Structure 1
């Protein structure tokens, strides 16, 4: 049994991660970590996350210790940086699903991987990671005379846009085409005066309601269009993938890994 700690355990995704850790046959929720000032500290986790009874209680994130096998973090970037420091101090491997990271924050993540093994992915769904491979096949196979667009939709509470998953898909396409994603990504056409270039990847975003996550990559040519779509109906999809990644990374050497490594999709 792998002992898992969940950072941000009282958050929208944190609760689902706790539930997934409790329900997995090969894992157990060792500790549910929240901010030091949180009023939930000391209270049992079960009633808060709407899950079966458990002896685990909420604890301060600073109480993370080396008895934990792996820590999972889907919090915001600032919290993630603090949690990385705690994990390094205790030599606890991490599974990180934080999105919207800046270049500086990504650099911090890469530096931390020199001291502990880390799985980082913008999306832990098995289906999305298969989609990442499929869009690369499409980008390599289809002719150069094609328009590439990515659409994503999420609930109204999501902060970053485009989503980290949409960018992951776009970066996979750019890699397959031999493009520099930073040069070909197009986020706004409101000031464009000409027609669309076929040397770009366009992004469009929807925010509304309770949409868990939808992503579509469009490959549009004259006379035909290929659409590759993934729709998530439950956050549990991502949580189960994260727990699977935690079991995988437990005994790995220090380094930065992805869900593609976990699923052996390379």
Structure 2
């Protein structure tokens, strides 16, 4: 909440304020702006502020909380990858973890992880470790609502993470029945995502350890394609349809 209000004050200093139905600039109070327009217009400016990089990151996350727009996460990533980067890792990944644990919709954060950090092989291992891999033992042995929310969200969007990176976390998560549905969704994404990655025999072994209702949607076809040795839907585009027909 503190970050959100700091971002609101910062926008006000830029001449941007929230009104009923959207946002306006002081110089054009009759022109209503969407949150997306505000994000595109001002998020990059956060990283030009004359404050240390850690405070810039906190302000950017506050802007994300306030606007709930994916573009803010893009500017965070751009800043991390800029000549002035990288951003302070502790503040950066703490910002992601805190929002992944929040009891509210965090679609922009999950989408950012999925398409920006996890799909990029230069960042996927570090990102996955920071948002889940380093903590998965604690999640399983000391589960809390917040930790379980974070684990579920990360597992479900982790399809593009290299299998060798995420398999240990998947196997640890499988020790906790509360995470079995999320592990299943992670496996399914690992097969279906364009950049999804898995090892079929290992993935099948893990799938067989999950306690899931037998009528779980896509469970049977996923087991079928893994047993046949298929690694990814896009490499064997007809295999999934064949598996669905085989189970019908």
- In our comparison, the structure showing a higher alpha carbon Rg is 2
Normalised TM-score (structure 2):
0.28
Return the structure number with greater helix share: 2
Structure with the larger strand share: 1
